[in-house]
Amino acid sequence: MALPLSRCRAWNVRRALAGGVLSASGVFNGHWAGLPVAGDGGCHGRARVQELHYYQRIHVNTTIHKKPNSSWRTPSRLVYTTRTKCCCNQVQSDKQYKDPYTLAQKDLKNLYDEIKRQLAVSSDLKEICDYYFDGKGKAFRPMVVILMGKACNLHHGKSRELLKSQHSVGMIVEMIHTASLVHDDVIDGSETRRGKITVNKIWGERKAILAGDFVLSSASMALARLGNTTVVSIFTRAIEDLVRGEFMQLGSKENENERFVHYLEKTFKKTASLIANSCKAVSILGNCNSEVQEIAYQYGRNLGIAFQLVDDMLDFTSSTNQLGKPTAADLKLGLATGPVLFACQQFPDLHALILRRFSSDGDVDLAWEYVQQSDGVQQTCYLAHQYCQEAIRQISMLHPSPERDALIQLTEIVLNRHK
In angstroms, give the least distance from the CB of 216 to ligand GRG.
5
Q: How many C-beta neighbours within 10 Å does residue 117 have? A: 11
Indicate whether 384 belongs to the interface with ligand GRG (CB under 6 A): no
Residue 186 vs 398, nearer CB to ligand GRG: 186
Indicate whether 300 belongs to the interface with ligand GRG (CB under 6 A): no
Indicate whether 184 belongs to the interface with ligand GRG (CB under 6 A): yes
Distance CA 174, CA 171 (A): 5
Q: Which stretch binds ligand GRG (CB under 6 A): 24-32, 56-64, 104-112, 174-182?
A: 174-182
Angstrom CA distances, 31 to 27, 244, 256, stand at: 5, 15, 22
In angstroms, give the least distance from the CB of 311 to ligand GRG.
5
Q: Could you tell me if 113 and 130 are in contact, meaning their C-beta atoms sit under 8 angstroms apart?
A: no
In angstroms, give the least distance from the CB of 82 to ligand GRG.
27
412's CB contacts (< 8 A; 6+ apart) are: 77, 78, 388
Q: How many C-beta neighbours within 10 Å does residue 282 have? A: 32
User: How distant is the alpha carbon of residue 219 from its chain centre?
Assistant: 21
- Phi, psi for 84 (deg, rounded to 5): -100, 125
User: How distant is the alpha carbon of residue 288 from its chain centre?
Assistant: 23
Indicate whether 194 belongs to the interface with ligand GRG (CB under 6 A): yes
CA Rg value for the chain: 21
Distance CA 358, CA 351 (A): 10
Indicate whether 308 belongs to the interface with ligand GRG (CB under 6 A): yes
Indicate whether 208 belongs to the interface with ligand GRG (CB under 6 A): no
Q: Exactly one of 231, 239, 305, 306 binds ligand GRG (CB under 6 A); which one?
A: 239
Residue 52 vs 148, nearer CB to ligand GRG: 148
Q: Exactly one of 241, 265, 311, 403 binds ligand GRG (CB under 6 A); which one?
A: 311
Reported as type and span, the H/E element at residue 197 is: strand 196-197
Q: Exactly one of 16, 216, 344, 407 binds ligand GRG (CB under 6 A); which one?
A: 216
* Residue 239, amino acid: I
Residue 52 vs 216, nearer CB to ligand GRG: 216
Q: Exactly one of 212, 286, 300, 402 binds ligand GRG (CB under 6 A); which one?
A: 212
In angstroms, give the least distance from the CB of 112 to ligand GRG.
12
Q: Which residue is nearest to ligand GRG (CB)?
A: 184
Helices (H), 318-347: 320-323, 329-332, 338-346
Please, what sign has the CA dihedral across residues 251, 257, 262, 268?
Answer: positive
Indicate whether 140 belongs to the interface with ligand GRG (CB under 6 A): yes
Helices (H), 318-417: 320-323, 329-332, 338-346, 350-355, 363-373, 376-395, 402-416
Indicate whether 60 belongs to the interface with ligand GRG (CB under 6 A): no
Q: Which stretch binds ligand GRG (CB under 6 A): 28-36, 52-60, 136-144, 152-160?
A: 136-144
By CB under 6 A, the residues from 262 to 291 that bind ligand GRG are 270-271
User: Per-residue string for binding with ligand GRG, 240-259, x by CB under 6 A?
Assistant: --xx--x-------------
Contacts with ligand GRG, residue ranges (CB under 6 A): 137-138, 140, 176, 179-181, 183-184, 187, 194, 212, 216, 239, 242-243, 246, 270-271, 308, 311
